[in-house]
Structure 1
Amino acid sequence: MQLYNKLSAEERAKLIDEAGKQRLTLSFYAYAKIQNPQKFRDDLFIAWNKLDVLGRIYVAHEGINAQLSLPAENFENFRETLEVYDFLKDILLNVAVEQDDHSFLKLTIKVRHKIVADGLNDETFDVTNKGIHVKAREFNQLLEDPNTIVVDFRNHYESEVGHFEGAITPDVETFRESLPIIKEQLQDFKEDKNLLMYCTGGIRCEKASAYFKHQGFKNVFQLKGGIIEYARQIKEEKIESKFIGKNFVFDHRLGERITDDIVSQCHQCGKPCDNHTNCENEACHLLFIQCDKCKEIMENCCSTECLEIIHLPENKQKELRKGLQVGNKVFRKGKSEALRFKNSGDLPKKPLAKAESKNIRGKIKIKKVLIGKAEHYFTKSKIGQFLIENQEISIGDKVLISGPTTGEQEFIITELFANGNSCENAKTGDQITFEIPFRIRLSDKLYKILD
């Protein structure tokens, strides 16, 4: 039996679009003793694959850490697959504030040594002696207490786009790095201060709170469900948000907006911006913040060097990539000498700008039909090439081009070429080209918007 995903991201995105079902993005975690992580992993894959679950899940002897998406109609059936396990009964499921059908495009379940790389020896302290869980309203009250120190247990590229007011935001790239730094900074406050901690979904604080209690901190509190659950509670209970900006998330969205405050800058021009992107150069993929104008000028690249590389023939690019080590050991997140306006660990105390309000459900209301996929983009002439796989397209049609990096762009076709010849209409099987006012990518899809 196949216990792995064999479809490419593009193939999966097409199936999602064709299914036309609303999907939910959610996350959860649980620390528990799992005797056989491999069998647990395989059982989950079999059950979740049937429910069209996609996501990135880690399991270990110490528990599970899951971030995933699934069709909304399968939500209750999914919960039933969790109820099979005692330690997952009534587990808190953190449902995303903003939904995106393409948040995950593969189902990946991996067995790891730990569900979060923390660098700690769990045998040296009681991991069950955790801090006090607090909800949004209690968290806000503790923030107002002058006797409270609030600490962000996320990494620099996460806190840069959004954080709680007055929080200590360590300049680190991994959770493992943050623990000794925070311990040293707070040595003198063990007895008389409230240590209030938070992270994205709560999992890092579960271990960190137990560790700091072991280190002698008396009053340790943690935000239950992390920023994701906090955002849900302030919305439902109409509580003032003490979190400003975006919450960085580890899927194709790369962030969900909590408030309209923009607290970071484009790393290339300094304009207020909080949209993360990955460098287009396959040998770089640096994660950085880039505004729309720089995205257009730099074609999604972090530097002029990378911009030059993406215009080389593909075989030359592959040759340059040969022998490069992949992963975080090479692709540092958000740090490069080319990024002139990177703020790491030194964050502004006030918002730099306000984001434009958008209807995050707007794209679901658009009636559209998938026409084809991108094949090429001619940079100098700003012309896109597509292969029509379904139905027809004509001059005057309103179309939408959508992709993980491109986002969603609408415009009307005013001139059309099919198989190299000017035409009024094109049909299934035709290779079409037309002028596009922005750069497209091979992961992009072409839709016709229906009236």
Structure 2
Amino acid sequence: MQLYNTLSAEERAILIDDAGKQRLTLSFYAYAHLQNPTQFRNELFLAWNPLDVLGRIYVANEGINAQLSLPADHFYAFKDTIEKYEFMNGIRLNVAVEHDDYSFLKLTIKVRDKIVADGLEDETFDVTNIGIHLKAKEFNKLVEDPNTIVVDMRNHYESEIGHFTNAIKPDVDTFRESLPIIENQLSEHKQDKNLLMYCTGGIRCEKASAYFKHKGFENVYQLEGGIIEYTRQVKAEGLESKFIGKNFVFDHRLGERITDDIVSQCHQCGKPCDVHTNCVNEGCHLLFIQCEECKTAMEGCCSTECVTIIHLPEEEQKAVRRGIKNGNKIFKKGKSDVLIFKNNIETHAAFKTVGPKIIRIKTPKINKIYLGKAVHYFPKSGIGQFLIEENELELGDIILIKGSTTGEQELILSEMFVNEIDSKRAVLGETVTFKIPFRIRLSDKLFKVLE
């Protein structure tokens, strides 16, 4: 009986490519009183593994917290597996704003002490005694009330690339740090102010709402479903988005765009940028914001020291990694001294309500015509395959591959195979394959650029 993931990320990516199915990325959580989280964990793995569910899931005595992806055609079968549990009957599933077939490449379900680490040892604290949930329209209305204090319950590296206007953004690395800070700073407003909180999907501000009620705050509200559900409702109902920038997500995408506003800067040069990356030095892996120019100049590294290290032979790199104490530098979230611009410009003082100047970057419009859609990607050979649905394609054409994760990539077509035969021209209904220096997704579209 298989109860754990047995495939590597590379092997799983190949299987996803071969399956050729569109996948959904979604998240959900539920607070409950579970008597046997280990048994619950094993039941979930046995139910989800056959459905090709991949993701990062935590279960504990206080409930479940899940971020995952699954084939779109398995959605209803998956929903049946969770709604068999009474506490998840009718549960809201937060479907991602942007989908990526490779957002998760393993199914990992772990039993934890808590689904959200809070550092609390208070047995009188009831996590299910929560505040009032607000939908997007109600949230927007309460934000305008002068008696409302809006608090971002996320960490500094999340709020720096996107946030609600005029929100308080505590300069913290973890959720557990934020609770006493907020309680202390707002202690004089337990009765006279509306405490309105938000986070990515709702799980952190749900626990925070119960905590602040426990601490005597009377008017406690939270954004139902977090930023993810807020964005969906804003689009569906044609509302004004009071969230600006990008929403940080905890998969390889590291963010999904909500508005065109750029509210942060490159941590190395200060240019407008909201693209997080991890330092390519495996002994560092620092999370920070890096623009394309700095990425090229620094070879994806956070410092000249790391650039030097990545050019060492692999055995020497391993020796260097063995000498680094865990927690000293590895996996730090953007607060290293090597980030010159971030540390010289105060962008995240505790409870700073006025952020950096918002800059709107408009991409020059490219004159193009639609050709077709991606149907396959061969990772080992770096070859993309597309179905021509409109117009024609010829050798020498400038093409544009566009997708939510891929971005916009231009290439000059110098070689291609049409229906697996070397050819110079592809027309409606034919399948064309050619080499590409990056991974494509099945949601990507193919265009021809017109000069």
Say yes or no: does 1:366 pair with 2:370.
no
**1:147, distance to aligned residue in structure 2 (A):** 0.4
Say yes or no: does 1:354 pair with 2:349.
no
Q: Conserved in 2, the CA contact under 8 Å of 1:371 and 1:388?
A: yes
Say yes or no: does 1:270 pair with 2:274.
no
**1:91, distance to aligned residue in structure 2 (A):** 0.2
2:317 paired residue number: 317
**1:340, distance to aligned residue in structure 2 (A):** 2.0
1:296 paired residue number: 296
Q: Conserved in 2, the CA contact under 8 Å of 1:163 and 1:245?
A: yes
Q: Give percent identity, aligned residues only.
A: 68
1:58 paired residue number: 58
Per the normalisation by structure 1, the TM-score is: 0.83
Task: After superposition, give the CA deviation of every residue in 1:114-160 in whole Å (9 maximum; x if it has no partner).
Answer: 00111113512232221111111111111100000110100000000
- The letter for the 2-side match of 1:305 is E
2:207 paired residue number: 207
Q: More displaced, 167-176 or 200-209?
A: 200-209
Q: Conserved in 2, the CA contact under 8 Å of 1:372 and 1:445?
A: no
Task: After superposition, give the CA deviation of every residue in 1:75-134 in whole Å (9 maximum; x if it has no partner).
Answer: 111100011100011000000111111111111000000001111135122322211111
Q: 4+ residue runs of structure 1 moved beyond 4 angstroms?
A: 325-329, 355-359, 362-365, 386-390, 395-410, 413-416, 444-451
1:379 paired residue number: none
**Residue pairs, 1:158-307, within 5 angstroms:** 158-307=158-307
CA spacing shift, 1:64–1:265, aligned 2, 3 Å: same
Q: Conserved in 2, the CA contact under 8 Å of 1:367 and 1:449?
A: yes
1:428 paired residue number: none
Matches of 1:403 and 1:304 in 2, distance apart?
32
Matches of 2:283 and 2:371 in 1, distance apart?
34
Per the normalisation by structure 2, the TM-score is: 0.83
Task: After superposition, give the CA deviation of every residue in 1:400-425 in whole Å (9 maximum; x if it has no partner).
Answer: 99999987745246599xxxxxxx99
**CA RMSD, 1 decimal:** 3.4
2:139 paired residue number: 139
Structure 2 counterpart SS, 1:282: coil
CA spacing shift, 1:405–1:138, aligned 2, 3 Å: closer
**Residue pairs, 1:299-448, within 5 angstroms:** 299-326=299-326, 330-342=330-342, 343-345=347-349, 346=352, 348-349=354-355, 351-356=357-362, 366-373=373-380, 409-412=409-412
Matches of 2:167 and 2:446 in 1, distance apart?
47
Structure 2 counterpart SS, 1:104: coil
Q: Conserved in 2, the CA contact under 8 Å of 1:287 and 1:333?
A: yes
**1:279, distance to aligned residue in structure 2 (A):** 0.4
Q: More displaced, 6-15 or 189-198?
A: 6-15
1:38 paired residue number: 38
Q: Conserved in 2, the CA contact under 8 Å of 1:12 and 1:105?
A: yes
Matches of 2:334 and 2:326 in 1, distance apart?
16
Q: Conserved in 2, the CA contact under 8 Å of 1:102 and 1:404?
A: no
CA spacing shift, 1:351–1:100, aligned 2, 3 Å: farther
**Unaligned 5+ residue runs, structure 2?**
386-394, 417-421, 424-434
**Unaligned 5+ residue runs, structure 1?**
374-385, 417-423, 426-433
CA spacing shift, 1:87–1:128, aligned 2, 3 Å: same
CA spacing shift, 1:388–1:350, aligned 2, 3 Å: closer
Q: Conserved in 1, the CA contact under 8 Å of 2:402 and 2:445?
A: no
Q: Conserved in 2, the CA contact under 8 Å of 1:157 and 1:344?
A: no
- The letter for the 2-side match of 1:191 is Q
**1:180, distance to aligned residue in structure 2 (A):** 0.7
Q: Conserved in 2, the CA contact under 8 Å of 1:252 and 1:404?
A: no
- The letter for the 2-side match of 1:296 is T
Task: After superposition, give the CA deviation of every residue in 1:37-60 in whole Å (9 maximum; x if it has no partner).
Answer: 111111101111111111000001
Q: Conserved in 2, the CA contact under 8 Å of 1:60 and 1:114?
A: yes
Task: After superposition, give the CA deviation of every residue in 1:152-174 in whole Å (9 maximum; x if it has no partner).
Answer: 10000000001111111000000
Q: Conserved in 2, the CA contact under 8 Å of 1:150 and 1:195?
A: yes
